[in-house]
Amino acid sequence: MIKLKSQREIALMRKAGEITAAARAYAGKLVTAGITTREIDKAVHDFIVSKGAVPTFLNYSGYPASCCLSVNEELIHGIPGRRVLKDGDIVSVDVGATWHGYVGDCAATFTVGEPDPEVRRLIEVTRQSFFEGIAYAREGYRISDIGHAVQTYVEQNGFSVVREYVGHGVGSAMHEDPEVPNYGRPGRGPRLVRGMTIAVEPMVNMGSAAIRVLDDGWTVVTQDGKPACHYENTILITSGDPEILTVCGDGPI
């Protein structure tokens, strides 16, 4: 069941989104050589709490941290720990914050120094695929039109879209209906209507789309060991252009 949001709920989601986006930007600044992923997580936790919000991921289904930090061949759900970042690493930061019961959810991939040109292209294509997708996040289209656009763009650029994990509705729960796949035929799934809030989150592999979950039960890595990227924002469907809710300052990262 898709929950359409009232004006009151949308106002709360804007605030949750602003805090979440600020936490993502802050984590991105901390992505530097010599820091551990646990140190970044602690900083993100304290940042969210300092804003009066709740770190949504912490204890979600037993998840042990306030953000996911996924390095290089790790696609999503990397658990912060003792790993020390080094020059050339890429780090996908995924973070959620809850404000007065409403959730913001966003992610982006950051770099330590300058990665290989092909890795830089992977990051840019992943980010752009989100914008290609949300060109269809409008009344008159259906959910699968978003994923069809994401997949088309990613594959035109020679990369692969992961199938096992998808975007989702967001609201008073981090995961609400509908599912928002990053692939598929157009014209399928629920019709988009104003008041829907969804997380659109392309997960893109440089090599094959195949993934596996590590023994920690969380970390999702590419099977071929090649790099992977993630980009996500929570958006609101309106009568016109979609509104990106996970923004702070100058706009989306």
Q: Name the residues that contact ligand MF3, by CB under 6 A.
A: 57, 60-61, 63, 68, 77, 94, 96, 105, 199
Beta carbon of residue 120, minimum distance to ligand MF3 (angstroms, whole number): 23
**Which residues, 6 or more positions from 114, have their beta carbon under 8 angstroms from its beta carbon?**
88, 120
State which residue, 199 or 221, has the beta carbon closest to Co ion: 199
State which residue, 2 or 32, has the beta carbon closest to ligand MF3: 2
E strands, 42-163, are 54-55, 67-71, 74-76, 90-99, 102-111, 160-161
Query: Is 176 one of the binding residues for Co ion (CB under 5 A)?
Result: no
- Dihedral of CA atoms 205, 207, 211, 213 in degrees, nearest 10, equals -80
Q: Closer CB to ligand MF3, residue 87 or residue 164?
A: 164
Query: Cβ of residue 156: shortest distance to Co ion, in angstroms?
Result: 24
Backbone dihedral angles phi then psi of residue 243, each to the nearest 5 degrees: -100, 125
- Inter-CA distances, 217 with 63, 155, 166, Å: 10, 29, 18
Beta-carbon neighbour count of residue 239 at 10 Å? 9
**What does the alpha-carbon distance between residue 92 and residue 221 come to, in Å, rounded to a whole number?**
12
Task: Give the gyration radius of the chain's Cα atoms.
Answer: 17
d(CA 191, CA 198): 13
Identify residues 181-200 at the interface with Co ion (CB under 5 A).
199
Which residue's beta carbon is nearest to the bound Co ion?
A: 199
Q: Closest approach of Cβ 76 to Co ion, in Å?
A: 9
Q: Of the candidates 9, 89, 105, 132, which one interacts with Co ion according to CB under 5 A?
A: 105
Q: How far is the CB of 199 from Co ion (least distance, A)?
A: 4
Nearer to Co ion, 18 or 105 (CB): 105
Closest distance between ligand MF3 and the C-beta of residue 65, in Å? 7
| Residue with Cβ nearer Co ion (115 or 230) | 230
Token pair of 1, please? 């069941």
Partner interacting with residue 94 (select from ligand MF3, Co ion, none; CB below 5-8 Å by kind) = ligand MF3
Q: Provide the binding-site residues for Co ion, judged by CB under 5 A.
A: 105, 199
